[in-house]
Amino acid sequence: MSRRVLHVDFNSFYASVACFLDPALRPHPVAVAGDPEARHGIILAKNELAKKFGVKTGEAIWQAKQKCPLLVTVKPDFASYQKFSALGREIYGEYSDRVEAFGLDENWIDVSGSTETLEDARRLAETIRFRIRDELGITVSIGVADNKVFAKLGSDIKKPDAVTLISPENYQKVVWPLPASDLLYVGRATQAKLLKYGVLTIGDLANTPVSFLKSQFGKCGVMLHAFANGLDAAPVLRSIDQPPVKSVGNGITTPRDLVNDEDVYLTICMLAESVSARLREQGMRAKTAHLSVRDTGLYSFIRQTKFDHPTNITSEISRACMQLFRENYNWQTPIRSLTVSTSDLVGEDNPEQLSLFDDQAPRRRAEAAEGAVDDIRRRFGYRAIGRALFLKDRAIGLMAPKDDHTIHPVGYLQNGTMDSVIGGSPQ
């Protein structure tokens, strides 16, 4: 028997919450901005009225106001966003014990236990949509499908305040004409490569020989082929089922050989920024840093060091790994790949023995600043804000390792679906 999965997505979440909290804003085009007092502040979110004027997430306030002179900007209120997110999950929890968050404003819900058919699930989705609107004062779009990937896609198809059903009977008509980039886990780099091979739509991806996709993308190609054909067995996880993270890392083969300490430091900083962001997403700090190095002569080594204090701060991870590099490499051959990782993870609320002689205030300010950058990037992409250091070499500094190393649905690569589609078309 097929599953019934919903994906619930709050519409224009930040702006919707702002308009609910201040009803005087509702008749106006509204944008939530990082610094509304500064003309160079950035748009984090906008309501439907602002969208009609062409206001876009990620552009400067002054650019948005050129399009929409009457645009009202408000400061972000993350405490309220978290509150509304939790209230939404309370409603979802009345219908299923399997509610998996996908950021503050999105959740998957497995309603297989409370419905018998996808049509039943669609009716339940309508009930949830009405309840969110009536009880929380904001709207959601909901996708209904027999898997997480199509449910997520369904919530994106029709906005705002709508329910979209994607079934085994209609998915070729509804899903296949959409751009391949609309499919979950098709990032910018993958999209560019697919376009090079003439794969423009999800249907093109579904009908591309899986052997070719595997040769070009490895296991990821097999996975995307399955997703395009509606084959996704990943379960909707309860929070208690999600395994604890034991380590966090990112590695790359660099776009060019690294020939000096400056090149290496730039790359380490770029990787450390991704690692620290992942740690903060998990609410974790690390006690140990690891650096893996491989040069063009295929010589490689891995070294590790302990931090003085558990950390998720980019600069502290970068300095520790750069020190490991300087202590262990003598520049006989250029560097070809680097990996930065952390382990011995503890929760952010884990008690820590401090010294009377340590001033922790600068560390806490650095952590808060990086958290603010995380929030901006979650809304409109990695490249919307960055360190000036990265402009020294755009080929390296503007890479987005966190985006390019996406964590895929947990159950998929661990079940038999992968093996069943490698040999040919899915059945």
Q: Which residues form the catalytic set?
A: 106
C-alpha 210/C-alpha 226 separation (Å) is 9
Q: What is the Cα 28 distance to its own chain's centre?
A: 30
C-alpha 120/C-alpha 142 separation (Å) is 14
C-alpha 19/C-alpha 10 separation (Å) is 14
Strands 162-165, 335-347: parallel, antiparallel or unpaired by DSSP? Answer: unpaired
C-alpha 395/C-alpha 3 separation (Å) is 44
Instruction: Count how many Cα atoms sit within 13 Å of the Cα of residue 399 in the half-sphere of its side chain.
Output: 23
Closest CA to 402 of 293, 248, 291, 294: 248
| Cα–Cα distance list, 267 to 260, 316, 331, 390 (Å) | 11, 15, 16, 9
C-alpha torsion 307→310→311→317, nearest 10: 20
DSSP assignment, residue 406?
P
Q: What share of the chain is helix, strand, coil (3-state, %, to 5)?
A: 45, 20, 35
Phi, psi of 15 (to 5 degrees): -70, -35
C-alpha 65/C-alpha 341 separation (Å) is 42
Closest CA to 270 of 176, 390, 385: 390
Instruction: For tokens 């399009």, name the residue.
Output: 67
Name the 3-class secondary structure at 262: helix
Decide: 265 and 355 in contact? Cβ < 8 Å.
no
The DSSP annotation for 149-177 comes to: HHHHHHHHHS-SSEEEE--TTTHHHHTTT
